[in-house]
Structure 1
């Protein structure tokens, strides 16, 4: 993954990241509020060696001895020998061992000082324990650890309190700002981890980069998502100046320049699975091609779940199936649509053996005269992963154009459809990405703008007039088309 991929992931999941960040901040604040406040009181002791009447050298030796021994005294502060008298004198309801976890002692480097620190939930109690510990420690050192040389004499080590403990005015913990920041940091990390993991586990097609990882065939076009697509599937006719209509014209242009040296202009449009926009792509592409003045035939080759007749608002009771079994001539089954040279061949009755019909020699006899008359022939075929119809009819044509829905088609499904075509020896011409979002990191700008007004002085027709919608026969005087 490249840096732009991570930026896209963060952009795409910024809401989840923000929510987890806020939850982390709230969690840190809640944790801080549940913690009992702790107060810290400290006292400082000075350790010296008695050198009364001694020379300067003895003083130096005494100071050196004090520095060496003070490190051992630090470990003595937290022992039961020092803390049991403190518990008894103050009447504490804890044992010396439990109290030792709240008492600590340190010594600055190369000094004879000892800092005793006590932590307690009561600030006054913390100061009392610190002072009592200092007194008990001095007593233990002077009477037990460093006993005087003679009875009634003074200990050679002297412990002096230089800084008595003061009652703390504010708690040392919890550090609420720090806990809130730490909670927010954990929430941010969790949000980023969630976004990256979600992206890694998401196997759907979203971007051109996803397609490049699956196939080296070109992306012929991108069709923007339209929530009203079911209500107005023929967007090129219903709203010809809309950004989505322009995306089909871009597809038309790319298709016109696809392998210009080839004689065949018969294309199969299919998809890996259902609901990926193959039928609407075929219908709108046919209308866009007819707008250029080309003679276009749109054949509904989906003999299992036909959609073309419904989208084009024509009678689909008689069509390709009747032609293949010899009941009707192909010229009589074709229906003219609109003002341009666009002809529709519906699927007709649903047969029990669609694959056999599409792969029969009768299909060759249907396509041959149509290719002689029409500039473009588009065949809407069933999904590749469900049935073999698209691969069967694809071998009889220039190749297949795959429709893949952004955010819906899964990478393994698209890869499986491509493998099916490779196994069958069918040429994959390219991929059309449908349902592209118009906003966000996956949009690539498709459908985000248009050039010129979307309305003309006269309102663009939103539906066919009665004269335009009325099916018309192909005139035999122009060409002789038959099986």
Structure 2
């Protein structure tokens, strides 16, 4: 994935990431409140080797070197049983020497004769008492037991306390600021991980980048989501200034630059991978927007299984395409003019038992040829490609197919299967139109480089002027 993909992931899942971060901070705060505070008391000892009054400088150096070597062994003696048993007895502790050793830590700075003893306990006063007791008993064990020569001679090793332990005022743990910071970082990492995982596992179409992963066909346009689309499907006619209406005009402009092989009228089959992706409303609004430019447009309801255009446009749909194909009616008798422009609608008519055969028949071919001689654009609303074969059949007779994909609904495998189905039969897929794009967020039609609903200067000129010199 590229940097822009990660930015989109963060933008799309910022609520989840923020919630995980706050949850991590809350968990760290709860842990800090529940855990028992621990206090650390430290004492420092100095180890030396005594020399006689007449000792030479070399003897002093030798004694110091001996002390430096000895402290490495003395460190291990600090938390041994021989020392801690005395501490337990002296302070009357309930813990054993083995249990006490877990809270004792001894160390020696490199190349020194110092020994640092740290004791951790939930009681600050007891921590200081234990540290001082360990220091004094350790010195006694080493000097009078371990390093005492035979006979009445005094030990040459001397251990003195140079920094006695004091009662600590603040607990060493829990470190609340550090715990909160770590909790926030863990929550943030968890939130980002979940967001990336959701994106990887999500196979739905959301943006141009998702379509590029499925097909190399161009994106012809993007249609904004309208929650009231079922109440006013013809948004170009009902509310021309609506951003969604403008996105249909953008689609119209892009469609006018599609170079359909063969010249003449441009006939397009508008279909989708599955149902409920907005193909019928796209076909109707696109036809109206084309007619607004002065173009002659024929809109055919080729969905002979579930026709909708007659209801959307408010026309009589009892007689239509099926009647023309079986010779029961003439095209001129059932083709209905709609609106103030030159938009002519051919409803589906009665639902036949054999839609695929009718749409792929020679009669359908002659019908499209006749319309192509009379109009500038022929739009055919066809059923979903993956549901029935109707769209694939009729697309072979038209100049090309336009595939509709609904943002947040259509899945990449479905879109890929629809593309392969159309290409397998030799149909020319002209491009993809994304519908139901959110109006806000990283998947909106106006986010970053995914700006679909753009106006074009070429639309300022009437259709007749733009096509002057083409013989139309």
TM-score bracket relative to the smaller structure: over 0.9
User: Within 2, Cα distance between the matches of 1:45 and 1:364?
Assistant: 104
Question: TM-score under structure 2 normalisation?
Answer: 0.92
| Contact 1:243–1:447 (Cα < 8 Å) also in 2 | no
1:62 aligned onto 2:63 = yes
User: Within 1, Cα distance between the matches of 2:352 and 2:145?
Assistant: 108
After the TM superposition, which residues 376-387 of structure 1 pair with which residues of structure 2 at under 5 Å, given as runs?
376-387=377-388
Structure 2 equivalent of residue 176 of structure 1 = 176
Shift of 1:450: 8.4
1:235 aligned onto 2:226 = no
User: Within 1, Cα distance between the matches of 2:163 and 2:292?
Assistant: 96
Structure 1 equivalent of residue 394 of structure 2 = 393
After the TM superposition, which residues 111-190 of structure 1 pair with which residues of structure 2 at under 5 Å, given as runs?
111-151=112-152, 153-190=153-190
Shift of 1:264: 4.0
1:276 aligned onto 2:284 = no
- Quick one: structure 1 residues 257 and 431, their matched pair in 2 at CA, closer, same or farther if it must change by over 3 Å? same
After the TM superposition, which residues 213-362 of structure 1 pair with which residues of structure 2 at under 5 Å, given as runs?
213-259=213-259, 262-362=263-363
| Contact 1:244–1:447 (Cα < 8 Å) also in 2 | no
User: Within 2, Cα distance between the matches of 1:215 and 1:331?
Assistant: 40
Structure 2 equivalent of residue 424 of structure 1 = 425
Q: Secondary structure at the match of 2:340?
A: coil
The CA deviation string for residues 335-361 of structure 1, in whole angstroms up to 9 with x for no partner, is 111122211111111112111111112
- Quick one: structure 1 residues 441 and 344, their matched pair in 2 at CA, closer, same or farther if it must change by over 3 Å? same
Shift of 1:143: 2.3
Q: Which runs of 5+ in 2 are unaligned?
A: 457-472
| Contact 1:242–1:450 (Cα < 8 Å) also in 2 | no
User: Within 2, Cα distance between the matches of 1:411 and 1:450?
Assistant: 29
User: Within 2, Cα distance between the matches of 1:325 and 1:58?
Assistant: 123
The CA deviation string for residues 207-239 of structure 1, in whole angstroms up to 9 with x for no partner, is 111112221211111111111111110011101
User: Within 2, Cα distance between the matches of 1:16 and 1:77?
Assistant: 51
Q: Secondary structure at the match of 1:396?
A: coil
- Quick one: structure 1 residues 248 and 197, their matched pair in 2 at CA, closer, same or farther if it must change by over 3 Å? same
The CA deviation string for residues 394-414 of structure 1, in whole angstroms up to 9 with x for no partner, is 000101001111111111111
- Quick one: structure 1 residues 52 and 187, their matched pair in 2 at CA, closer, same or farther if it must change by over 3 Å? same
| Contact 2:222–2:452 (Cα < 8 Å) also in 1 | no
Number of residue-to-residue matches in the alignment: 450
| Contact 1:243–1:449 (Cα < 8 Å) also in 2 | no
| Contact 2:139–2:159 (Cα < 8 Å) also in 1 | yes
CA RMSD of aligned residues (A): 1.6
Shift of 1:290: 1.2
| Contact 1:149–1:155 (Cα < 8 Å) also in 2 | no
- Quick one: structure 1 residues 260 and 387, their matched pair in 2 at CA, closer, same or farther if it must change by over 3 Å? closer
User: Within 2, Cα distance between the matches of 1:135 and 1:123?
Assistant: 19
The CA deviation string for residues 86-129 of structure 1, in whole angstroms up to 9 with x for no partner, is 11111111111111010111111111111111000001100111
Structure 2 equivalent of residue 434 of structure 1 = 435
The CA deviation string for residues 219-273 of structure 1, in whole angstroms up to 9 with x for no partner, is 1111111111111100111011222112111211221221166224111000111
Shift of 1:389: 0.4
User: Within 2, Cα distance between the matches of 1:158 and 1:22?
Assistant: 56
Structure 1 equivalent of residue 461 of structure 2 = none
User: Within 1, Cα distance between the matches of 2:453 and 2:96?
Assistant: 73
- The ranges of structure 1 where at least 4 consecutive aligned residues each deviate by more than 3 angstroms after the TM superposition are 446-451
| Contact 1:439–1:448 (Cα < 8 Å) also in 2 | no
1:78 aligned onto 2:91 = no
Question: TM-score under structure 1 normalisation?
Answer: 0.90
| Contact 2:250–2:455 (Cα < 8 Å) also in 1 | no
- Quick one: structure 1 residues 87 and 181, their matched pair in 2 at CA, closer, same or farther if it must change by over 3 Å? same
Q: Secondary structure at the match of 1:284?
A: helix
Q: Secondary structure at the match of 1:155?
A: coil
Shift of 1:276: 0.8
Question: Which moved further from structure 2: 287-296 or 408-417?
Answer: 287-296
User: Within 1, Cα distance between the matches of 2:11 and 2:405?
Assistant: 23
- Quick one: structure 1 residues 448 and 362, their matched pair in 2 at CA, closer, same or farther if it must change by over 3 Å? closer
Q: Secondary structure at the match of 1:426?
A: coil
Structure 1 equivalent of residue 18 of structure 2 = 18
Structure 1 equivalent of residue 466 of structure 2 = none
User: Within 2, Cα distance between the matches of 1:427 and 1:260?
Assistant: 9
| Contact 1:264–1:397 (Cα < 8 Å) also in 2 | no
User: Within 1, Cα distance between the matches of 2:260 and 2:120?
Assistant: 85
| Contact 2:270–2:379 (Cα < 8 Å) also in 1 | yes
